[in-house]
Structure 1
Amino acid sequence: MSDFLVVGGGVIGMMTTLQLADAGHSVTLLERGRCGREASWAGGGIVSPLYPWRYTAPISRLSGWSEGYYPELALRLYEETGVDPEYRQKGLLYLRVEDEARAMAWAREVGKPLERVSADFLYAKEPEVAPGCQEALWMPTLGSIRNPRLTRALHARLSAMQGVTLREECEVRGFRQAGGRVTAVETSQGPVAADQVLVCGGAWAAALLEEVGITLPVRPVKGQMILFKAPPGLVNRVVLMDGRYVIPRADGRVLAGSTLEDAGFDKTVSGEARESLWASATRIVPALADCLVEHHWAGLRPGSPDGVPFIGAVPGLENLHVNAGHYRNGLVLAPAATRLMVDELLGRAPILDPAPYALEGRLAGGL
């Protein structure tokens, strides 16, 4: 029997497993499909909320801590696995920001480099972006990571670690309970027991916790994206305009996203969304109109009422915990959200005040 059982093999589940294993504990990770193939794979990999000044303090605190951790994590995983997560700290350009004064006030408050730059600066950095802009906002410290490669690197590292058991294609079907504890998790591969159980099931977390009588206000929110096969150097850094973005990769490919759709657990893509994303991307970088759309996909974000994740113990069951509801910022918040959870599990001083993320008092509201 493992010390810990983690349900869900996305970036939250895998980073949790890594930290617990680093601390010398045995961990079993259960994933209903293949690790890292849901929202963690489908997102864009920007290591910041899109417009961070529009988020509440609890999200800002998590994202600020995580942003500083990603360079170290990417380097570590590359050295240990040979898989490069492609962390790129090239900065971010914001075009046509309506609440610029709010953005600048936020940056001063949190000590984040953000400046108004001229058209000359903008087009020197990104010659191919939308013509006619008179100014932009520039966040030089922002980074991005190639999330499919990040999850591949995490999977490779966990697969090589002693004390870690990965069980993929293993669907959780319920929880055995006795004496106010979870005694085993019922799965498609039979019961699995551990001293402590963590639900990191993303958009599926609510359905899992329904099995123990907990109504967690987390729902799937579909997002569609497209990928252009562009020549290297066409776009060099993340550019946001009118709520949409383009994200370059090291090989020249450019992601464009994303939609926000309430469609349950439906991950089918639509021609309407593809056209909308193509139109947004080619407004941001007109030269993308000459590039092939190589891929079009959808993922399911774990939507929560205010975007603040649920991190902590599940009321009424002393060894059941949850880390879910990160909405659009799962990858952004993952290092801090998982560290906060692991600090609580191991009785360590927390990196941040855990109170805003606790389940108590937050389970009655709807979405």
Structure 2
Amino acid sequence: MNKQVVVVGAGVIGLLTAFNLAMKGAQVTVCEQGEVGRESSWAGGGIVSPLYPWRYSAAVTALAHWSQDFYPQLAERLLASTGIDPEVHTTGLYWLDLPEQDQALEWAEQQQRPLREVDIAQVYDAVPVLGPGFAQAIYMAGVANVRNPRLVKALTAALKGLPNVTVHEQCQVRGFVHGQGRVTGVDIVTDSGARVLGADDVVLCAGAWSGDLLRTLDLELPVQPVKGQMILFKCAEDFLPSMVLANGRYAIPRRDGHILVGSTLEYTGYDKQPTQQALESLKASAFELLPALEEAEVVGHWAGLRPGSPEGVPFIGQVPEHPGLWLNCGHFRNGLVLAPASCQLLCDLLSGAAPIIDPAPYAPAGRLG
């Protein structure tokens, strides 16, 4: 693919989009307004599944299933090429006292996913640190989590190893440049001043900030920042053998014994300040799920901004009113889950290859204001 492509945004979606396009032969420039991968991609939990997959549309399910199957080979490829292991950690996931358990099991049967009801005594045998009082559970084997900061580092290292990729940090994109009826680049500001960065195509992967940029074209993208807060505990490596989820909160074990507990869902604009109220709420959930965490050290508490979108269906494809401008954004709570499929689909569409799945549900046409 003999094209010059600018990718706006260097979270996991932007980095993997750039990687896929570069592997197709494109000359790719990535523009990131801050530091690479330090927004939603760094802040999330990294469960390689929607928290409640049966609540989502077929569009999200299709991306999720493709990505879940692809993640292990992506991790192996990145480890082999960079020496950085994204740590795709397969633990399975227990949902405890789920109100819509029957609906979940029905969905699993329709989708042929390995979700099953488990006797609660077996759960306590498998997860001895689980708190008391839970009455029922379902379990999906094979659900993994990825250590998202390491995934960002691995993708960044992979891009730096490619001669046809340039990554600019602290590079503010102020708007889009047009010529001959199409988008031909972006207007950027860096420490060295303002200039135009030309391109055959521009891909917008700016997460929660994507809508702000499209407003410069008088387009309304229904993507808004949704704050999420997390806390991190340090435990023994064998403390928690599986991910567990109850009452909307989850605990995720990392291989080295760190336990992530999250998360909040807050509509507070671009405010990323962690709050004492959220910390206390998350701690209460953590201690209810896993009482032994009361004795564990809290080693982190942070907030990030998800790109909230209607029903969590991302925008993937070309903006019809502005040829040459492409979107890959609006993944809401599932950016890490959906990234491999979303980025491959975008690359297929931009390069003219046969798409991995039907692109129609994600097309920007008819979905922008």
Same fold (TM over 0.5): yes
**1:144 counterpart letter in structure 2:** N
Cα distance in 2 between the residues matched to 1:225 and 1:132: 24
Structure 2 residue aligned with 1:324:
329
Structure 2 letter corresponding to 1:201: A
Residue 2 of structure 1 and its aligned partner are, at CA, apart by 5.9
Distance, in Å, in 1 between the alignment partners of 2:53 and 2:75 is: 22
Instruction: Report matched runs for 1:63-82 at 5 Å.
Output: 63-82=64-83
| Residue 276 of structure 2 corresponds to residue 275 of structure 1 | no
- Structure 1 unpaired stretches of 5+: none
Q: Counterparts of 1:217 and 1:178 in 2: how far apart (Å)?
A: 27
Aligned pairs for 1:249-328 (under 5 A) are 249-328=254-333
Overall identity of the aligned pairs, in %: 51
1:236 positional shift = 1.8
Residue in structure 1 matched with residue 351 of structure 2 by the alignment: 346
Structure-2 separation of matches of 1:264 and 1:332: 24
Deviations 1:44-74 (A, max 9, x none): 0000000101111100111010000100011
Amino acid of the residue matched to residue 85 of structure 1? P
TM-score by length of 2: 0.97
- After TM superposition, give the deviation of residue 142 of structure 1 in Å: 0.5
Q: What residue is the counterpart of 2:210 in the other structure? A: 205
Return the alpha-carbon distance in structure 2 between the equivalents of residues 183 and 118 of structure 1.
59
Which residue is 2:30 aligned to? 29
Name 2:56's counterpart in structure 1.
Answer: 55
Say whether the 8 Å CA contact 1:222–1:301 is kept in structure 2. Answer: yes
> What's the CA shift string for 1:281-324, capped at 9, x where partnerless?
11111111111111100000000121101111112111011111
State the alpha-carbon separation in 2 of the partners of residues 240 and 56 from structure 1.
Answer: 21
Tell me how far apart the structure 2 counterparts of residues 133 and 259 of structure 1 sit (CA, whole Å): 22
* Distance 1:244-1:328 versus aligned 2 partners, 3 A rule: same
1:96 aligns to 2:97 (yes or no): yes
Could you say which residue in structure 1 is the equivalent of 2:15?
14
Separation of aligned partners in 2, 1:127 and 1:101: 26
SS of residue matched to 1:66: helix
Cα distance in 2 for residues equivalent to 1:204 and 1:269 = 19
> 1:220, 1:303 within 8 Å by CA — same for their partners in 2?
yes
Q: Distance in 1 between matches of 2:354 and 2:170?
A: 35
Aligned partner of 2:169 in structure 1 is 168
SS at match of 2:138: strand
1:115-130 alignment, distance < 5 Å: 115-130=116-131
Question: 1:229–1:253: 8 Å Cα contact kept in structure 2?
Answer: yes
Q: Contact (CA 8 Å) 1:2, 1:193: kept in 2 or not?
A: no
- For residues 79-124 of structure 1, give each alpha carbon's deviation from its aligned partner in whole angstroms, at most 9, with x where no partner exists: 1111111101111111111111100100000100011111232122
Counterparts of 2:365 and 2:136, CA distance in 1:
45
Question: Does structure 2 conserve the Cα–Cα contact (< 8 Å) formed by 1:2 and 1:28?
Answer: no
Distance 1:324 1:40 in 2: 13
5+ residue gaps in structure 2?
none
What residue in structure 1 maps to residue 109 of structure 2?
108
Q: Are the aligned partners of 1:3 and 1:196 in contact in 2 as well (CA < 8 Å)?
A: yes
**Worse-superposed segment, 222-231 or 123-132:** 123-132
Two-structure CA RMSD over aligned residues (Å): 1.1
- 1:233 match: 238
How far, CA to CA, are the matches of 2:274 and 2:120 in structure 1? 36
Deviations 1:239-267 (A, max 9, x none): 00011000011110100000000111110
d(CA) in 2 for partners of 1:68, 1:35: 26
Q: TM-score of the superposition, structure 1-length normalised? A: 0.97
Letter in 2 for 1:103: A
